[in-house]
Structure 1
Amino acid sequence: MSIDSSSPFSWQFNLGRIPVVVDPSFWLATAMFATLGSRSWQAMLSWVAVVFVSILVHELGHALMAMSLGCDVAGIRLYMGGGLTYHDRALSRWREVAVAAAGPFTGFLFGGLMLAVNIFIPPKSEMGMILLRDLLWVNFGWGIINLMPVPPLDGGHIMQGVLGPKRQRLALWVGVLTSGAVVALALNFGSFFIVFMFGMFGYQCWQALQVTRDIKPLEPVKVAEIEPDALARGWQALRSGNESEASRLGHLALSAAKPGEESNAARDLLAWVALADGNARYALSHLEKVDPPQAARPYSLAVAYEAAGLPERALPHALAALEKEPTEAVAALAVRLLVKAQRLDEAERITREFAWKTPAKRDALMADVAVARGDFGGAALLHASAFEAAGRAEDAYQAARNHARAGQVGLASEWLKRALEAGYDDLETLAQEPALAEVRAAPEIAERLAQRKQGAA
């Protein structure tokens, strides 16, 4: 389950900078649970409100602890059966224990606060007594149940962290035996919901036992012997598009690396693997662990920050990278970020002064500067020049687009024909570009586009 996979009927809001998603299944399951007792409709509404607030407080405990340990929290999801908190990186064993324990203990604190309020302001109505009873049961009763050593409860996660990766099968056996004992006790008291819940947990633990093996970490020297030149081979795998192999070799290199330069180089590779997978936050988590922090590669930081949607944080690293490794990729990134920051004179100066291998790259970047200044006619001419130099269909399309934005429909039509002849195939983008609406409507262009769509089909 992902924080991004919400249904169209989910309720979404923010608590500070933490996104919260409440699935419809949360309300349904909570209301169904309320029907197990003989409650009035007012008591049922009170129960749903208590469960919502209490589980949200519980998940906030997880989230705030993760944030205090340096994580970014991607969000909280409430769904059938409880809640989940998503943070952006793996933590060390004991930090994961702290995050798991923070949820139920935050619930205990909230329940204690409700007890204190009851002492000073005791409820005077039947609904007030019901509300207090439900608050205490959910925060203390469910909290204690949640601390039982059964995965996937928080108590199970705590136990797995305490036992460590070498004893994961033992943790699952404890989950199976504890679930069996709870089921037997619940049957004796006729609590069939508890029977169902812990029966399901016990079965899941039993299934996990069939595939789980305790981890036996390799010694660093043995790793180096098994995978010689892991770092160099990892970069080679990444350049060839094999991200999974690059990740494997990067982690092996990191496990065998000495602190300092070797470890930092392995983290740089793993950051680029994460970028290739589209996970900018995981890339940043690797780069932020470089020691000392100033040893992180500026170009890697710039690319990761830009991919994470933080161009203002990427820019200083891109300019620093341009001083250290003045390649075309670095220069193009610096110019792109300067344009976003509206530092157009600096962007133009770097573009003019840099020794590009071909004039096409220079002209395309100068066109971006011209667009930022609102000079669409000048941008169109620069893209046309870039097309004449390198023959890229994208440059011809941009020439057509900017001629159209400058009101030069005839030139836009001619350049769109050239783009299509050169193999421009992003027909979806072309169909959605408002500046080219009049050009697309021209009979000759419309016919060409129809033929291209038929060919694609």
Structure 2
Amino acid sequence: MRFRFLKISVSIDLSYWIFLFLVISSVGSQYIEILLWASVFTLSILVHEYGHALVALFFDAAPEIVLQAFGGITHFNALYLTSKQKFLITLAGPLFQGLLTLTVYLLLRFNIFNSYLLQYLLYITMYLNSRWLLLNLIPIAPLDGGWLLRYILEKLFGYTGYLASIIIGLVAAAIAIPFLYLQGYHWFFIMQLFIAGWHYCKRWQQARKW
């Protein structure tokens, strides 16, 4: 499936639909609940990725969004981008998602809508985005928090900063995995951290060879 919106191409891989089915199938038995959760889940990912993509478009980096298993990714041409521009592109995703979460919270806080269905929709949106935002800011790549930390530490300390970002990422994953499990996060969040931690272990092994 492919469409274009705001001059940005979006493609949805088959693996995303399978992933979505596995995640959403546990939220309830009513079709309307499943439909609402699936819609909010997908739109929330798109809001986050459009944050990245719109800033990349501003820098003429030809962004393209792909939804796939475990979420979404924004591809862009980073060849002529500065480190600062890459940092801003990465930061924009969490900022857009944070703005969405704050907006929905205020709508619920001041009881703007009286409709139960709309309030339930807003609750789902706040629940998913607040949890996803917290996860995404954990300082381990490929989560945005990991890339942001790496940009900052490399800018300040060079290669030493890169090594520090690996160590911090491994410690963060070791703390976050049991914490998120105890907080009742879905299995796919936990799996993302396991995969990220495994990649960081590989990076650390490679770094020690130099």
Which bin holds the TM-score, normalised by the shorter protein?
0.7 to 0.9
185 and 112 in structure 1: CA distance in 2 versus 1, 3 angstrom threshold: closer
Q: Hey, what does 1:122 align to over in structure 2?
A: 113
Cα distance, 1:115 vs structure 2: 3.2
Q: What do residues 208-241 of structure 1 show as CA deviations (whole Å, max 9, x unaligned)?
A: 21223799xxxxxxxxxxxxxxxxxxxxxxxxxx
Alpha-carbon distance in 1 for matches of 2:23, 2:186: 12
Map 1:48-197 to 2 at 5 A: 48-68=38-58, 70-90=59-79, 91-118=81-108, 119=110, 121-125=112-116, 127-164=117-154, 165-166=158-159, 167-189=161-183, 191=185, 193=187, 194-197=189-192
Alpha carbons 1:43, 1:130 under 8 Å: kept: no
39 and 102 in structure 1: CA distance in 2 versus 1, 3 angstrom threshold: farther
Alpha-carbon distance in 1 for matches of 2:184, 2:130: 21
Map 1:400-419 to 2 at 5 A: none
Alpha carbons 1:62, 1:103 under 8 Å: kept: yes
196 and 88 in structure 1: CA distance in 2 versus 1, 3 angstrom threshold: closer
213 and 13 in structure 1: CA distance in 2 versus 1, 3 angstrom threshold: farther
Structure 1 residue ranges, 4+ long, deviating more than 6 angstroms after superposition:
none
Alpha-carbon distance in 2 for matches of 1:192, 1:184: 12
Cα distance, 1:74 vs structure 2: 3.6
Q: Hey, what does 1:41 align to over in structure 2?
A: 31
Cα distance, 1:142 vs structure 2: 0.5
Cα distance, 1:123 vs structure 2: 4.3
190 and 107 in structure 1: CA distance in 2 versus 1, 3 angstrom threshold: closer
Cα distance, 1:197 vs structure 2: 2.8
Alpha-carbon distance in 1 for matches of 2:41, 2:209: 37
SS at match of 2:113: coil
Q: Extract unaligned runs of 5+ from structure 2.
A: none
137 and 190 in structure 1: CA distance in 2 versus 1, 3 angstrom threshold: closer
Q: Read off the aligned partner of 1:211 and give its amino acid letter.
A: Q
Q: What do residues 140-163 of structure 1 show as CA deviations (whole Å, max 9, x unaligned)?
A: 221121011011100000011001
192 and 21 in structure 1: CA distance in 2 versus 1, 3 angstrom threshold: closer
Alpha-carbon distance in 2 for matches of 1:22, 1:117: 30
Cα distance, 1:39 vs structure 2: 4.3
Alpha-carbon distance in 2 for matches of 1:57, 1:189: 25
Q: What do residues 242-300 of structure 1 show as CA deviations (whole Å, max 9, x unaligned)?
A: xxxxxxxxxxxxxxxxxxxxxxxxxxxxxxxxxxxxxxxxxxxxxxxxxxxxxxxxxxx
Alpha carbons 1:151, 1:172 under 8 Å: kept: no
Map 1:277-426 to 2 at 5 A: none
100 and 133 in structure 1: CA distance in 2 versus 1, 3 angstrom threshold: same
Map 1:8-23 to 2 at 5 A: 11-23=1-13
Alpha-carbon distance in 1 for matches of 2:163, 2:195: 18
192 and 76 in structure 1: CA distance in 2 versus 1, 3 angstrom threshold: closer
Report which of the two structures shows the higher radius of gyration computed on alpha carbons: 1
Alpha carbons 2:53, 2:63 under 8 Å: kept: no
Identity of aligned residues (%): 24
Alpha carbons 1:169, 1:213 under 8 Å: kept: no
SS at match of 2:41: helix
TM-score using structure 1 length: 0.42
Alpha-carbon distance in 2 for matches of 1:196, 1:35: 17
Q: What do residues 142-198 of structure 1 show as CA deviations (whole Å, max 9, x unaligned)?
A: 112101101110000001100114122221111111111112223445656143332
Q: Read off the aligned partner of 1:182 and give its amino acid letter.
A: A
Alpha-carbon distance in 2 for matches of 1:36, 1:105: 29
Q: Extract unaligned runs of 5+ from structure 1.
A: 1-10, 216-457
Higher RCO (CA-CA < 8 Å; seq separation 6+): 2
RMSD: 2.3
SS at match of 1:19: strand
31 and 130 in structure 1: CA distance in 2 versus 1, 3 angstrom threshold: farther
Q: Hey, what does 1:237 align to over in structure 2?
A: none
